[in-house]
Amino acid sequence: MSPTLFARMRIGGFNPSLARLVTLLLITLLLLAACSKEDDTEQIQNLIKEGAKLAEEHNAAGLLKLTTEDFVARPGKHDGREVRRILWFAFNHYGNFKVMYPEPSVDLKESGREASAKVYFMIVKKERSIPELKDLYRDPRGWLEEVGETADLYRLKLELLKNNGDWLVRSVLLEPFRGVGFSG
């Protein structure tokens, strides 16, 4: 640092170079914070995508690796051990299936460590194809209107926690969904 710059800083004089540097740093930090929120949303959506893939593979152990140690599933208050048993019965009931869903909604909390998400989904036979749903992925309402009256739909409400940079599901509420008039 030059002696003149140092002297200006010590006596409190205005330094345009320093002001530009501080402004640039603040703008960079704000952009990084905005990207971080977007990255968190994308991470959560990828976690949901991974969960759907694991369900299609009948991988209960893999699904439970996406949850926190104190995970609970509702309705009821089921821990991981009970959920593993419930999933075993569900996998046997449905056989080979695929999970179809529109883009999940994600709400990041101010803390940056907590989030919630809603996922509307249906389970269909593996060989069934509904190509028009791909075009409606980013339009959850249109997606629901397309399939709402002809399929068994469900809604998952997820509460998530960021742990060591990874998002994990802390709790889940599974509800049957009947048409687009569903409240909430």
* Amino acid 166: pLDDT: 92
Q: Which two tokens stand for residue 109?
A: 């909390």
* Amino acid 45: pLDDT: 95
**20, HSE (Cβ side, Cα atoms, 13 Å):** 3
* Amino acid 152: pLDDT: 76
Ranges of H-type helices in the chain: 3-11, 16-56, 60-64, 80-94, 132-135, 140-147
Q: Which fold has domain 39-177?
A: Nuclear Transport Factor 2; Chain: A, (3.10.450)
Q: Mind listing the pLDDT tens digit of every residue in the chain (184 residues)?
A: 554 444 444 445 555 554 444 444 444 444 444 444 559 999 999 999 999 999 999 999 999 999 999 999 999 899 999 999 999 998 998 899 889 999 999 999 988 899 999 999 988 888 887 878 888 888 888 888 888 766 778 999 999 999 988 999 999 999 988 655 544 4
Burial class (CB in 10 A: 0-12, 13-18, 19+), 182: middle
